[in-house]
Structure 1
Amino acid sequence: MTDIKGKAASVEFRNVTKVYPNARVAAVDQVSLFVEPGRLVTLLGPSGCGKTTTLRMIAGLEMVTSGQILIGGEDVSALPATDRDVSMVFQSYALFPHMSVRENVEFGLKFSGFAKQEIGDRAIAGLKLVGLDGFGERLPSQLSGGQQQRVAVARALVLEPQVLLFDEPLSNLDAKLRRHVREEIREIQQTLGLTVVYVTHDQEEALAVSDRIIVMNNAVIAQEGTPRDLYDAPASAFVADFIGEANLLDCEIRRVDGETATVALGPVTLSLAARGLPVGPGRLAIRPDRIEIAPAGTPNSLPATLKKVTYAGSHLECVVQSGAGEIFAICGDVDAPIKAGDAVGLSFPARGPVLIVP
């Protein structure tokens, strides 16, 4: 039996720009990035930010206007898609409805110079790898959405590409199935050591599957880092609000000592990472689950009044009015004795507020 193996390669963009004919602005503007071999990196951002164009340029489905794309250290900027060792899994799955599952998986292999027996063996191995052993003679219409997605993954994997690309692969699945299939994709990627570039606009999906996330906005990279880096320390209001929810509050940076800033949020004094910001007006991003609702009058807390308390099963969702503005907070104690109209104090743990670029 043939085994499917990974042959991971790096992906690098060097000042890549893509301008479509008659377009007023660039779809991708001077983007430089590096994807290490064997890593899953997600391009995340809103519609129109440039993430899908970036993916299509890796695949060779779009050609660069300027700059270089390297795969495995080789410049492929001028190569067509057929000459790049890259496979792509599309949002629509793109399965042939009149072909069996096995024939769909074999389709690309027939153009790759393999003998008939090798093609069959690879197809069987690919289906087994994605948990569809024994489904080879079925038609795509006889499979669930999640199973069809796995057929598309198997078809890409059997070619043993240097880079595997996913374009919004879960957008056609319901919420429960999305979680299951993304776990399968991540497991296959890690088992085979594949280099994967994954596009989504879903921040929860990106946090769950990625080694690293590249957040794009308006054709450029807004920030990149590990999922924890981006969630814990967003650099801007856009990143803070796009990856999870965040309260964006004005503050005053009173003093900067090296890498530490003393920050005032109303009567509350905070010691935070300065992040290169100077003394003066500042901006804070605070995650709702990193705010503590304390009794009114608690030392170093922000006086506030509860406007709304909503039971959400595993937690309480609280809308709070304070001198710093309206704040959304999540309370993990569903039995907390709080109700709308109560005076409270808002406290902020050390890992809570983050200074961002105003």
Structure 2
Amino acid sequence: MSINAKAAPVSFRNVTKVYGKDVVAVDDINLEIEAGKLVTLLGPSGCGKTTTLRMIAGLEIATKGSIFIGDQDVTLLPATDRDVSMVFQSYALFPHMSVMENVSYGLGFSGFDKSETRDRAQHGLDLVGLNGFGDRLPSELSGGQQQRVAVARALVLEPQVLLFDEPLSNLDAKLRRQVREDIRDIQQNLGLTVVYVTHDQEEALAVSDEIVVMRNASIAQVGHPRELYDAPADRFVADFIGEANIIPCEITDVKGDVAHIRMDDLVHRLPARGLLKGRANLAVRPTRFKLGVSEGLVMKVSKATYVGSRMEYTLEASFGRVFVVSEDVDNPLAAGADVTVGLDAIGPVLLPAD
């Protein structure tokens, strides 16, 4: 992927946003977003991700710190003076205008003549797969098509940074998957700098070059999707990125970078991640358990659910419940049965004790 000539990096330097006297929405964050990358701000409601996005757009002004787009300090610039475009959750299309008129709308303020405006708008519709839809009204389109119109309207302005605020939340599951793939393809093909906000972990993993996990107005961890999934920094990140069973364990020995752990009758070796002997937690993804092994932890099947492509089990252990996923749908475990459970060699991750 080549980086678009207009794509610019974004830099947050000790940025804080306070509402009123004491409501801290963003607390002293530092963040570098590379040009030509799709970076997702991910976190629960109220963590500060949307406020961070709106500060890039100029819809909110930072209380402290500096924000740069490229080499320009935009901290105090109004939204109209920033070379950014934003795609909103609500699409924000004009219902009385045709698709072509909606896509052309922003170009009308950019000094292009009618011919160039139409050419650019048509190119935008081609990019999002809506060639031939220009004369329709938004009400004549599906939700996914309306969202594509909103994306086209932002793309034709050729911004330095393209912003997405929960763009898929109004779509059903199948359509969300299709539109997120469309957005990712467009971003990669055009080499755009994109900052994308969502609370959906799967969506973030699917579209991102890098994910910024936010918690309580600050940044919990920044990393590539695989890095965050396989090596979360703490319990919050482990539990928020995908699902994780957090299990208490004992580190019995550390040799070099390898920790030896014990959980009741189960022993295991894995990267120590800087932890020493003593109490710790183990984060285990539902797919990283091995069922029916000869040695391990004996657990009781509390619940067994068939969901088509896999079985989902709730198992009872001495330390509490665990959630396990198995692709073996032909030999399901019955509720009430005992099963010996082990761990995959790769996947479980040590975390500090609570």
**TM-score w.r.t. length of structure 1:** 0.95
Asked if the contact 2:10/2:67 (under 8 Å) is kept, the reply is yes
| Matched residue, 2:211 | 213
Post-superposition shift, 1:197? 0.3
The one-letter code sitting in structure 2 at the alignment partner of 1:113 is G
1:347 to 328, 342, 346: 342
2:328 to 330, 333, 349: 333
Query: What count of residue pairs does the alignment treat as equivalent?
Result: 350
| Counterpart check, 1:302 vs 2:297 | yes
Cα distance per residue 1:140-175 (max 9 Å; x no partner): 111111111011101100000010000000111111
Post-superposition shift, 1:245? 1.3
Post-superposition shift, 1:323? 2.1
**Aligned positions of 1:189-338 closer than 5 A:** 189-295=187-293, 298-299=294-295, 301-336=296-331, 338=333
| Matched residue, 1:356 | 351
Structure 2: gaps (5+ residues): none
The one-letter code sitting in structure 2 at the alignment partner of 1:339 is A
Asked if the contact 1:10/1:35 (under 8 Å) is kept, the reply is yes
The one-letter code sitting in structure 1 at the alignment partner of 2:265 is P
Q: Aligned to 2:45, what secondary structure does the other structure show?
A: coil
In 1, the alpha carbon distance for the partners of 2:275 and 2:85 equals: 43
In 2, the alpha carbon distance for the partners of 1:185 and 1:110 equals: 25
1:71 to 69, 84, 91: 69
| Matched residue, 1:176 | 174
| Matched residue, 2:25 | 27
| Comparing 131-140 and 51-60, the one that deviates more | 131-140
Q: Aligned to 2:292, what secondary structure does the other structure show?
A: strand
Asked if the contact 2:284/2:347 (under 8 Å) is kept, the reply is yes
Asked if the contact 2:311/2:332 (under 8 Å) is kept, the reply is no
| Matched residue, 1:59 | 57
Q: Aligned to 2:331, what secondary structure does the other structure show?
A: coil
Cα distance per residue 1:8-50 (max 9 Å; x no partner): 111111111000113x331000111111111101001111000
In 1, the alpha carbon distance for the partners of 2:327 and 2:42 equals: 29
Post-superposition shift, 1:315? 1.1
1:121 to 97, 119, 122: 119
In 2, the alpha carbon distance for the partners of 1:308 and 1:144 equals: 39
- Classify 1:75/1:258 alpha carbon distance in 2 versus 1 (closer, same or farther; 3 Å): farther
Cα distance per residue 1:83-129 (max 9 Å; x no partner): 11100000011111111111111111111122222111111111111
Post-superposition shift, 1:79? 1.1
Post-superposition shift, 1:212? 0.8
**TM-score w.r.t. length of structure 2:** 0.96
Cα distance per residue 1:156-196 (max 9 Å; x no partner): 00000010000000111111111111110011001000000
Q: Aligned to 1:26, what secondary structure does the other structure show?
A: strand
| Counterpart check, 1:11 vs 2:10 | yes
Structure 1: gaps (5+ residues): none
Post-superposition shift, 1:343? 2.1
Asked if the contact 1:265/1:324 (under 8 Å) is kept, the reply is no
- Classify 1:160/1:67 alpha carbon distance in 2 versus 1 (closer, same or farther; 3 Å): same
In 1, the alpha carbon distance for the partners of 2:102 and 2:147 equals: 12
Cα distance per residue 1:264-292 (max 9 Å; x no partner): 11221221222222221101110111101
Q: Aligned to 1:27, what secondary structure does the other structure show?
A: strand
- Classify 1:212/1:255 alpha carbon distance in 2 versus 1 (closer, same or farther; 3 Å): same
The one-letter code sitting in structure 2 at the alignment partner of 1:96 is F
Post-superposition shift, 1:357? 3.1
Cα distance per residue 1:220-258 (max 9 Å; x no partner): 111111111111121222111112111111111122233
In the TM superposition, structure 1's runs of 4+ consecutive aligned residues that sit over 3 Å from their partners are none
The one-letter code sitting in structure 2 at the alignment partner of 1:225 is G
Alpha carbon RMSD of aligned pairs, Å? 1.3
- Classify 1:6/1:123 alpha carbon distance in 2 versus 1 (closer, same or farther; 3 Å): farther
In 1, the alpha carbon distance for the partners of 2:115 and 2:108 equals: 11
